[in-house]
Homo-oligomer: A and B are copies of this chain.
Amino acid sequence: MTYTPPMSNDDFRRAGHELIDWIADYWETVEQRPVLSQVAPGDIRASLPTEPPAEPESWDAIMADVDELIMPGITHWQSPNFFAYFPANASPPSVLGELLSAGLGVQGMLWATSPACTELETHVLDWMLDLCGLPDRFRSGGPGGGTIQDSASSAALVAILAARERVAGQWRMDQMVAYTSEHAHSSAEKGIRIAGMFPEQLRQIPSDGTHAMDPVKLREAMLADIIEDRRPFFVQATTGTTSSTALDPIDEIADVCKEFGAWLHVDGAFAGSAAVAPEYRFVNAGLERVDSYCFNPHKWLLTNFDCSLFWVADRGPMTSALSIVPEYLRNAASDAGSVIDYRDWQIPLGRRFRALKLWFVIRTHGAAGLADFIRNHVHMAQALAERIHGHPSYELVAPTPLSLVTFRHTGGDEDNERIRDTINSDGEAYLTHTRLADQTVLRVAIGAVRTEQRHIDALFDRLDELA
């Protein structure tokens, strides 16, 4: 019995060179494709063979199927005309970092299982504090530190678990209450439920006129809970909500959290990247007083999914909640306490070498290049917001602090749905909606790697036509 690899190293070289060129070609031509896939449910599966192949198939056959069967089912997140949700940046250097990580194929669950995987991650997370002007309390070397999570949802869950751990000896779990704003991401509710609490243990605090959490209402809610013998243990605030990039007032929320001893986690998933440009560091206001913070370079900082950065001011409660050491994972470095084992900072055990792609992005761009990337999008978005503001049929429904423009056709919900569906089904651009103040609202999130002014101009012209 022997095994002969069906793809030799030389085959890999040939196929790999081809695939690199395929990707470069794809990026060069992606704007010609309909952004939103136009297939119906089941179309893709119907085109695939029911049975798996018995014998090996050739690389050429596989790539022909990618072109013919898979590509029609792709919604092109890398299109310059992608304005939906938030962007999912996959820049050339980050894709190379992902490739190198896959080729090395190391596990970073423990320092010992590949020291560079852990140490580069710690190092790059410290660099990011400098690049974004983030507080020193998150720096490794002290009680805090940073790590890469797969997503802001997982980061929120880890924060909830750390917060729960911090008070576990004092309060029963059914006494604990968490708070977030009515416009916070669904990750807060999902995390609370995963952690074993009822949805009723999460309060959705009303927002102010800018759709940001109202800290006075937060304090009122906590007081009401305390009177009923419930215990405020966790607040998830948001800098840059999904609906409108509203910025919760972190400093005032931190006052309330301090008064009642609640853990304050800040989700800056999208907007946090803006801080690489010093003039947008208003997104960091108050972070020197929070317990944990997260933002996603895989959204708006040129690094392909997954790369969500998560920092804690004190890693004790987190590792206490998540550390379990079976015999088969014991090793001298961990036993000596001289290293970080990132498996104790996350839900899964295994982890790949995600720091490489972020390192490649930072070094390829430098601080100056990262700032220019962000500025370009913000300038384009704010110019678009002004044009929409000046249009007779549209109105802005929220401020545009960064690069999400939230607006509506004044004709009503049906007009807005019609405009969204027409643009999306034509495939010329892709935008999504939300609801604010009980109205359907359109969102244009500008932040794809290849979006230029001409793409925004075309979108505005189309909006004007459909008005």
B44 close to A120 (CB less than 8 A): yes
> For A53, A356, A367, which residue has the most chain B Cβ atoms within 10 angstroms?
A53
For residue A411, which residues in chain B have a CB less than 8 angstroms away from its CB? none
Contact between B37 and A9, CB atoms less than 8 A apart: no
A103: nearest chain-B partner, CB-CB = B23
Q: Judging by beta carbons under 8 Å apart, are B57 and A363 in contact? A: yes
CB of A88 closer than 8 Å to a CB of B: yes
Q: Contacts of A375 on B, CB cut-off 8 Å?
A: 1, 3
* Cα–Cα, bound, A64→B26 (Å): 29
Asked if A13 and B6 sit within 8 Å, CB to CB, the answer is no
Take A88-B107, A338-B41, A350-B150 as given contacts and tell me if A13 and B21 are in contact as well, using a CB distance cutoff of 8 Å: yes
Which of B11, B13, B98, B366 has a CB less than 8 Å from the CB of A53?
Answer: B366
Inter-chain contact B366/A322, CB cutoff 8 Å: no
Asked whether A154 is an interface residue with its Cβ less than 8 Å from the other chain, the reply is: yes
Overall SS of chain A's interface: helix
CB distance from A140 to the nearest CB of B (A): 9
Judge whether B12 and A119 touch: CB under 8 Å. no
Which B residues touch A112, using CB under 8 A? 36, 75
Residues of chain B with a CB closer than 8 A to A5's CB: 91-92, 449
Are A102 and B90 touching (Cβ within 8 A)? yes
A260 interfacial by beta-carbon distance below 8 Å: no
Report the minimal beta-carbon distance from A215 to chain B, rounded to whole angstroms.
23
In A29-56, the 8 Å CB interface with B consists of 36-37, 39, 41-45, 48, 51-56
A56, A76, A152, A161 — most chain B CB neighbours (10 Å): A56
Q: Given A100-B23, A102-B304, A104-B26, verify A73-B119 contact (CB < 8 Å).
A: yes
A227: Cβ under 8 A from any B Cβ: no
Q: Nearest CB to that of A435 among chain B residues?
A: B327
Whether B74 pairs with A90 at a CB distance below 8 angstroms is no
Selected interface stretch from A190-198, A392-400, A458-466: A190-198
Identify which of A196, A375, A434 gathers the most chain B CB atoms within 10 Å of its CB. A196
Stretch at the interface among A122-130, A217-225, A251-259, A283-291: A122-130
- Residue A437 CB within 8 A of the other chain: no
A28 to B362, CA, bound (A): 30
Residues on the B chain within 8 Å of A92, using CB: 5, 7-9, 11-12, 15
- Given the known A-B contacts A7-B93, A93-B7, are A189 and B365 also in contact in the complex, defined by CB atoms under 8 Å? no
A153 to B347, CA, bound (A): 7
With A54-B366, A116-B73, A348-B153 known as contacts, the answer to whether A24 contacts B9 (CB < 8 A) is: yes
> A23: shortest Cβ distance to chain B, in Å?
4
A364 touches B57 (CB 8 A): yes
In Å, the complex CA distance between A197 and B196 comes to: 8
Quick check: is A242 within 8 A (CB to CB) of the other chain? yes
Could you tell me if A364 and B75 are in contact, using CB atoms closer than 8 angstroms?
no
Contacting residues, chain B, for A42 (C-beta < 8 A): 119
The reply to whether B364 and A7 form a contact with Cβ atoms under 8 Å apart is: yes
A323–B199 alpha-carbon span in the complex (Å): 12
Residues from chain B with Cβ under 8 Å of A243 in the complex: 327-328
Verify if A226 is at the interface (C-beta below 8 Å from B).
Answer: no
Check A170 for interface membership: any CB of B closer than 8 A: no
Decide yes or no whether A321 CB sits under 8 A from chain B: yes
State A298–B105 Cα separation when bound (angstroms): 10
Give A105 Cβ to nearest chain B Cβ, in Å. 3
A349 interface hit (Cβ, 8 Å): yes
* Residue of B with least CB distance to A53: B366
* Complex alpha-carbon distance, A360 and B72, angstroms: 18
Q: Is A20 an interface residue (CB 8 A)?
A: yes
Contact A324 B190 (CB under 8 A): yes
Please name the 9 residue pairs, one residue from A and one from B, whose CB atoms are nearest each other, closest first: A196-B196, A73-B116, A90-B105, A16-B20, A23-B103, A151-B348, A12-B92, A44-B119, A52-B127
